[in-house]
């Protein structure tokens, strides 16, 4: 048996078959080994790729702030003063400095020449919480302290603002235009006599694309106290812009105000200088007691077509008196026009129904041949506060003006005023001529 087995195993045919099978198995083993090696290499590469992705994501997560960090980080922007935003809170300082000089060519009365800081204001504004804002502006001119815009507001209703505090009632285009942006150094005599400036009150201001309506109920000046019930008033103003395009604006508006005087003296005062703040004595003045109420009506219109603009207003005041005294009607208004020689135009806000300053094409930089913007203007104004037994006076003013805008926040101004008063004025027929100069910066 042993010999037989040996013979079979050693048969050449079977030996060749065995060798072929061994060779085939070796090839298969080599292929499997190569495949295993390839899989190991791919696995290694996959692990390296995953590790790289994990490392990249980790780095990005480390650099990215968390939601808490984002909410607690402050954002600072400049336009033109710094504005700090922190979540729903924001704070931005602002201010203005206006230095005036007046030289009088006297007529009947001696008006001293001089200089003063017409306005020197510092303020802050922003948001205190979502939809709740604030503004606080204090004037330190002539080393005094006066509240200007000091109020809180709510803006959570679309296109509407609810305001409570110290601010201007809704009366007149010129009065509601910022003192930084009015064309002349001072507002017209009629505006100065009949407007109240900032007083304590509450108001609602709403608007559309080309219209605005504002209304409010007001008390008295924040710095005034009385032994009787303080003065109060209610007012409304509406504006409409039938033409509202870039550099092409048409504006119309009207206002109505009802006023009750301070009950301690039942007095109304309507007085004005010859459109300057350095004059020590009023030019016209109607001061009287036994007043029950005053109703004031105003109409306004304006147009701006490229570098040209014009505007005008008319006021009518109806005063009712007590103790059998006669009622009185006073009136006043102005018309003005201006031309920006360098081509710029006035900005306009339909939301507020008022004009802003011009936006310069080039700020003053003589090294580059840029000289800012130059504007020429003229105005006629009139006021009449004489009626029956009240001889407050009548005054007409003719003003020529020039404004040099050095940049969007600085300008130099010059006005020359021709004054014409009648024989019922504070100083009868006193007709001085006045050179008024101003340097202004606001931020």
Residues 382 and 318 in one domain: yes
Question: What whole-number distance in Å separates Cα of residue 121 and Cα of residue 320?
Answer: 37
Structural domain contains residue 159: no
Residues 175 and 37 in one domain: no
Q: Which of 362, 425, 440 minimizes the C-alpha distance to 395? A: 425
Tell me: do 422 and 294 sit in the same domain: yes
Judgement on whether residues 20 and 109 belong to the same structural domain of the protein: no
The token pair that represents 259 in the structure block:
């006023």
Reduced DSSP (H G I as helix, E B as strand, rest coil) percent helix, strand, coil of the chain, to 5:
20, 50, 30
DSSP state letter for 326: P
In a domain, 83, yes or no: no
pLDDT of residue 3: 45
Q: How far is CA 381 from CA 94, 111, 178, in A?
A: 32, 21, 19
Q: Establish if 84 belongs to a structural domain.
A: no
Residue 78, H or E segment = strand 75-78
Please list the pLDDT of the chain residue by residue as tens digits (443 residues): 444 444 444 455 566 777 777 777 877 888 887 778 877 777 777 777 777 787 777 776 666 555 444 456 889 998 888 999 999 999 999 999 999 999 999 999 999 999 999 999 999 999 999 999 999 999 999 888 999 999 999 999 999 999 999 999 999 999 999 999 999 999 999 999 999 999 999 999 999 999 999 999 999 888 877 777 899 999 999 999 999 998 999 999 999 999 999 888 889 999 999 999 999 999 999 998 899 999 999 999 999 999 999 999 999 999 999 988 989 999 999 999 999 999 999 999 999 999 999 989 999 999 999 999 999 999 999 999 999 999 999 999 999 999 999 999 999 999 999 999 999 999 999 999 999 999 999 99
Q: How many domains does the chain have?
A: 2
Q: Is residue 232 domain-shared with residue 304, that is, in the same domain? A: yes
Checking phi first, is residue 393 left (phi over 0); if not, alpha (psi -120 to 50) or beta?
A: left
Q: State residue 140's pLDDT score.
A: 95
Token readout for 70 is 């984002």
| 438 and 120 Cβ atoms separated by less than 8 Å | no
Query: Would residue 21 count as lying in a domain?
Result: yes
pTM for this entry:
0.82
**pLDDT on residue 374:** 98
Q: Establish if 85 belongs to a structural domain.
A: no
Q: Is residue 395 part of a domain?
A: yes
Same domain membership, residue 368 and residue 282 = yes
| Domain extent for 249 | 95-121+167-442
Q: Are residues 117 and 255 in the same domain?
A: yes
Residue 113 lies in a domain: yes
pLDDT at 71: 53
Which residues are paired to 437 by β-bridges? Answer: 101, 414
One domain for residues 101 and 55: no
- pLDDT at residue number 14: 62
291 lies in the same domain as 360:
yes
Tell me whether residue 162 is in a domain.
Answer: no
Residues 55 and 99 in one domain: no
Do 195 and 261 belong together in one domain? Answer: yes
What gap in Å lies between CA 249 and CA 346, rounded to an integer?
9
CATH number, position 436? 2.40.160.10
Residue 353 near residue 251, CB atoms below 8 Å: yes
- On whether the CB atoms of residues 339 and 241 are closer than 8 A, the answer is no
The reported pLDDT for the residue numbered 55 is: 77
* Separation CA 359–CA 340 (nearest Å): 11
Q: Tell me what pLDDT residue 320 has.
A: 95
Contact between 412 and 402 under an 8 Å Cβ cutoff? The reply is no
Residue carrying structure tokens 């935003």? 85
What torsion do the CA atoms of 344, 349, 355, 361 make, to the nearest 10 degrees? -20
Nearest 5°: CA angle at 216, between 178 and 381?
A: 45
Residues 173 and 31 grouped into a single domain: no
Distances (CA, A) of 62 to 58, 67, 122, 194: 6, 13, 42, 64
């Amino acid at each position: 048996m042993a010999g037989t087995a040996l013979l079979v195993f050693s048969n050449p045919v079977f030996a060749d078959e065995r060798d072929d099978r061994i060779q085939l198995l070796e090839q298969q083993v080599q292929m499997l080994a190569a495949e295993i090696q390839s899989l190991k290499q791919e696995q290694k590469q996959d692990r390296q790729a995953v590790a790289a992705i994990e490392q990249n994501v980790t780095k990005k997560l480390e650099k990215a702030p968390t939601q808490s960090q984002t909410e607690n980080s402050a954002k600072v922007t400049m336009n033109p003063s710094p504005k700090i935003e922190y979540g729903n809170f924001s704070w931005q300082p602002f201010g203005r400095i206006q230095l005036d000089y007046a030289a009088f060519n006297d007529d009947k009365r001696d008006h001293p020449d001089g200089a003063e800081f017409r306005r020197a204001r510092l303020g802050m504004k922003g948001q205190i919480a979502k939809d709740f804002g604030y503004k606080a502006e204090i004037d330190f001119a002539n080393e005094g302290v006066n509240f200007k815009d000091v109020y809180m507001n709510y803006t959570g209703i679309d296109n509407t603002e609810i305001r409570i505090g110290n601010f201007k009632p809704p009366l007149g285009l010129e009065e509601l235009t910022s003192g930084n942006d009015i064309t002349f150094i001072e507002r017209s005599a009629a505006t100065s006599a009949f407007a109240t400036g900032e007083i304590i009150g509450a108001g609602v201001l709403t608007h559309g694309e080309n219209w605005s309506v504002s209304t409010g109920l007001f008390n008295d000046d924040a710095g005034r106290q009385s032994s009787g019930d303080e003065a109060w008033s209610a007012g409304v103003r509406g504006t409409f812009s039938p033409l509202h395009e870039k550099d092409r604006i048409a504006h119309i508006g009207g206002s109505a105000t009802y006023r009750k005087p301070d009950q301690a003296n039942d007095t109304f005062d309507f007085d004005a200088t010859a459109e300057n703040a350095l004059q020590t004595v009023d030019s016209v003045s109607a001061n009287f007691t036994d007043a029950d109420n005053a109703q004031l009506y105003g109409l306004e219109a304006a147009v701006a077509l490229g570098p040209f603009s014009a505007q005008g207003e008319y006021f009518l005041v109806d005063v009712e008196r007590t103790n059998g005294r006669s009622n009185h009607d006073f009136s006043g208004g102005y018309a003005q026009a201006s031309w920006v020689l360098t081509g710029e135009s006035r900005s306009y806000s339909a939301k507020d129904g008022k004009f802003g300053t011009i936006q310069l094409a080039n700020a003053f930089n003589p090294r580059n041949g840029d000289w800012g913007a130059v504007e020429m203007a003229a105005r006629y104004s009139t006021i009449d506060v004489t009626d029956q037994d009240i001889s407050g006076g009548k005054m007409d003013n003719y003003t020529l003006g020039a404004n040099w805008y050095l940049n969007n926040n600085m300008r130099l101004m010059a006005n020359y005023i021709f004054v014409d008063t009648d024989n019922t004025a504070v100083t009868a027929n006193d007709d001085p001529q006045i050179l008024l100069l101003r340097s202004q910066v606001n931020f």
